[in-house]
Structure 1
């Protein structure tokens, strides 16, 4: 039913009838009697990057299930073009097909739909602000305990799908694809190439950071291809896929959760770990603590039931290799308008510094 809905791209299009139809798939018997918009953010506003978001207060109709939240966050297409459709479809699939079985700290969903013809989508989520959540970014001081908490959530996710045949062709989660196959991979590895080169050519700090690494856009792209081909031969799991610190949240007790599932796919466990640790800590803190944090994560992976946990040595090498993706895809793809100047520069700075510290170019050359 939801797939046939005309999904909104602005707050004005979210009506009680529409929201009732969308939510009914996840919450049988629900009806929405009234909606009032609290906040609406579109592309370029307050860290809105690939999707807009609308916060609404709702009044439920008589007979609706009890204990539903009266404030909801609705993610919608940013209304620019259809190029981001694979991201939207992927995240809708995650919330409809994966989220219900997860025991991981990530937002609850109350309905999600994607329309392939229009490329529009909507996902109805809990408002994490009601639980006192805060949303860190690369400028925020993040404690080591909070990083460990987020790593624990990653370990839960990874353990749940460790070497799981459901992720392979023929399995019910094969739609996730991988870093080398599927709609999201095609968009990131082929569709994004002109955008990345445009960023390098036109944004001076990006151009000179690439020059500082003694590399080029095409060389970084080739290195990313080599990384993905290599890591597809290693143990696979379901990864969040875009696990920089800005895609997390912290609860009042300091524990953390995972946000934004647009890039989720089958991949290598260090993909999530490397991106989180590198983006969440200052250069000095990352240098001092990254090995201990990787060991902590591997211990949590074992505690969650993975019996063939890779060694620290091999995992830490892959941690360093994953920085190739972080530099090329993670932030060279991101225009300054998405997050603002300082956040953009700081992410590049942390990632390229780690790239040098780990001699990622050499690690990639070993497998190219």
Structure 2
């Protein structure tokens, strides 16, 4: 069925799928699962219950759990009891920003193309499509009702970090040094003026975390964002998750399925260590990071070596520092552009500021700025 809806959720679209959770129905989902051979042509979904997930602090999309009831007893025994679905956000401003930098298209491409060449544990995809204007999308994914979602406000634990390091190596290894063969552009960066305003907003809202030494580096840092990004996707680049933080990891109840990475909207060409740095320096509490980051870097290099990639601990450590310096622009963006007053979002941002600033000072990363003039 073709939906043409002028003004739906504040936009204009033409697509052949439900563009919001309220538009999902049993007949359409039955077609989806039948096309994937999850259901036979004689089996059908009788009822769909839509349950919001993460309401109140989502940034770029609306996520729901779809609880399913089947018309056939046999289907109820072998088909999934629930699915996870993602759609474009109802916030027109955030939706337009997500479209501009291609977040929705990247995630659709990941599930339709890129995931097929890696062994990384990501949700099984039953449906992935995007509107012709790139503003609306629908993803129907495997659900993990028995997995525990990571929580950045609590902080990354060592055993979680070890699982995440092993997972990211499975993503990075197959694409290491081969990104010229992949039709995937670097993530588009906002202009310098946007970061200038965001930096000021960061100081206004979270200035207690910003020491004078960081404030003094402001102009040099803003000038360095472009060269830092060029370093980030220079060869040997690989396929980076792009938003591999604790909130985007699910942890299983046992070792049969211990970890799953979700939210692939920011997938990009990148130095592999950037995913590592982003996760460890932003999601791990200060004392835990100080105690374990050296061992985790070693673990990452050992995992990457299994793909025949020579990447020493010394190289990884220096790249860790540079990636940490680059990702200060991500911190600025999160706290200075994505304004969100939801209580959990504010707690997350306070933790992010403390962890990231402390890590950068521990590693004296601002002394690297002359390399990126």
- The corresponding residue for 1:52 is 62
Map of 1:88 onto structure 2: 104
Which of these residues, 312, 319, 340, is aligned with residue 336 of structure 1? Answer: 340
Out of 270, 279, 290, the position equivalent to 2:293 is 290
TM-score between both structures, scaled by the size of structure 1: 0.83
CA distance in 2, matches of 1:83, 1:21: 32
Deviates more, 1:214-223 or 1:357-366: 214-223
- TM-superposed CA distance for 1:259, in Å, is 1.6
Cα distance in 2 for partners of 1:143, 1:77 equals 31
Q: 1:218 to 1:8 in 2, by over 3 A?
A: farther
- Which residue is 1:269 aligned to? 272
The correspondence for 1:137, drawn from 139, 151, 163, is 151
Structure 2 residues without counterparts, runs of 5 or longer: 3-13
* Range with greater deviation from structure 2 (139-148 or 329-338): 329-338
What does residue 240 of structure 1 align with? 241
Q: Deviation string for 1:28-69 (max 9, x for gaps)?
A: 866753332241247xx2542211012112245779898331
Q: 1:102 to 1:202 in 2, by over 3 A?
A: closer
Kept in 1, the 8 Å contact 2:57–2:340? The answer is no
Larger radius of gyration: 2
Residue 75 of structure 1, CA deviation:
0.4
Contact 1:244 1:276 in 2 (8 A): yes
How large is the Cα RMSD of the aligned pairs? Answer: 3.0
Q: 1:105 aligns with which of 94, 118, 121?
A: 121
Structure 1 distance, partners of 2:298, 2:195, is 36
Matches within 5 A, 1:186-201: 186=188, 189-190=189-190, 194=194, 197-198=197-198, 200-201=200-201
2:23 is matched with 13
In structure 1, stretches of 5+ residues that fail to align are 179-184
Answering whether residue 52 of structure 2 is matched by residue 40 of structure 1, we say yes
Q: 1:150 aligns with which of 147, 152, 164?
A: 164
Residues 122, 219 of structure 1: CA spacing in aligned structure 2 closer, same or farther, 3 A cutoff?
Answer: farther
CA-CA distance at 1:364 after TM superposition: 3.0
Aligned to 1:301: 304
Shift of 1:210: 4.5
| Paired residues of 1:136 and 1:250 also in contact (CA < 8 A) | yes
Q: Which moved more, 1:309-318 or 1:215-224?
A: 215-224
DSSP 3-state at the match of 1:190: coil
CA distance in structure 1 between the aligned counterparts of 2:31 and 2:341, rounded to whole angstroms: 34
Alignment of 1:180-191 (within 5 A): 185-186=187-188, 189-190=189-190
TM-score when normalising by structure 2: 0.82
